Amino acid sequence: MAGELSHAADYGYRIFKLRHFWLSLVRNDVQNRYRRSFLGIAWSLARPLGLTVVLTIWLKGFSLSPDQYVTLDNYTPFLFLGITLWQFVVESMSVGCNTFKNSAPFIRQQPVPLAIFPIRTVLASAVHAGFALIVGFFILWYFVGLPPPVVWLAIVPGFLILILLGVALATLMGIVHTHFPDTQHILDIVLQAMFFMTPVMFPPDNFPGRGRFNMFITWNPFTGVLEAIRRPLLTGHFDSYDGFHLLQAAGFLLVVGLFAWICLRRFEKDLVYWI
């Protein structure tokens, strides 16, 4: 155990020493994504804004359970924030499938901690999500007002968990995809199904009468990831439900992060032959 911790600390230090390298890669990824585009990074708002407008009109007046925090008045910011956060998770996993293949020239040149490449992928996605979240905060202010400062502090751990979870998921998807090239196609189907089984466009407690489905929604780990950030912003306070969601998200991160670390340790030397 001590040896493993020592290796992890040394691995983290090597990543830190190379921070200028992978931060430059992040900057290049963000710049190249919208190079010669008329709207540029504003395209990062197209999907959440478009889906929010369409779904708000389409679902306007749909039945909301009276015992939960989402109402027709705050449904628009609820939906926009949910779509933005979910899009970040999906992009971290989908783009993460090619994180090692796209970085093959660097991996072949010299031995570097391979974790820097999932970090690169997730941070680039986080930049796009950040711009969308800024718009989301304006939407939140317009419809329900901004929460007190203590709530902003309370959601910081949720954002940290979200970023670290994205790195862990990108690492796993990258390892699997280098060995099984069909991973990304299968993942697209799975994530499309998960979109409808995760409370992105509906409140997590909106189906109390549907036992098994309601239980699945409650214990869906992505529910905790979304609600640890979204619910405090909409309610304006941090209560026991938010604490439960934060612990749920932290537990999910612990499991996925540990599994990603084990896989990276096991296959790091083999990846160079798979890419």
Distance from C-alpha of 11 to C-alpha of 34, rounded to nearest angstrom: 33
At 118, list the tokens.
Answer: 């999932």
**Per-residue CA distances from 138 to 83, 100, 104 (Å):** 15, 36, 40
CB 163 within 8 A of CB 77: no
Distance from C-alpha of 42 to C-alpha of 30, rounded to nearest angstrom: 12
pLDDT of residue 68: 75
pLDDT of residue 44: 65
**Per-residue CA distances from 32 to 23, 35, 96, 173, 231 (Å):** 14, 5, 17, 23, 34
Q: Which amino acid is at 252?
A: F
Q: Which amino acid is at 5?
A: L
**Per-residue CA distances from 275 to 48, 52, 98, 181 (Å):** 33, 38, 10, 10
Distance from C-alpha of 43 to C-alpha of 34, rounded to nearest angstrom: 8
pLDDT of residue 215: 82
**Per-residue CA distances from 255 to 6, 55, 252, 258 (Å):** 20, 33, 5, 5
Domain count, the chain: 1
Phi (first) and psi of residue 119, to 5 degrees? -60, -45
pLDDT of residue 33: 73
What does DSSP assign to residue 72? T
Distance from C-alpha of 121 to C-alpha of 89, rounded to nearest angstrom: 12
pLDDT of residue 62: 60
Q: Which amino acid is at 78?
A: F
Report the length, in residues, of the chain: 275
pTM (two decimals): 0.90
pLDDT of residue 42: 65
What does DSSP assign to residue 60? T
pLDDT of residue 4: 67
What does DSSP assign to residue 45? G
- Per-10-residue mean pLDDT of the chain, 275 residues long, equals 72 88 88 69 71 74 67 87 94 92 84 90 92 91 92 94 96 91 90 90 74 80 94 90 92 95 86 75
Please compute Rg for the chain using Cα positions. Answer: 20
H or E element in which residue 21 lies: helix 19-33
CB 226 within 8 A of CB 198: yes
Nearest to residue 83, comparing CAs of 199, 206, 232? 199
Domain of 60 in residue numbering reads as: 2-274
Question: Does residue 199 sit in helix, strand or coil?
Answer: coil
Distance from C-alpha of 145 to C-alpha of 233, rounded to nearest angstrom: 9
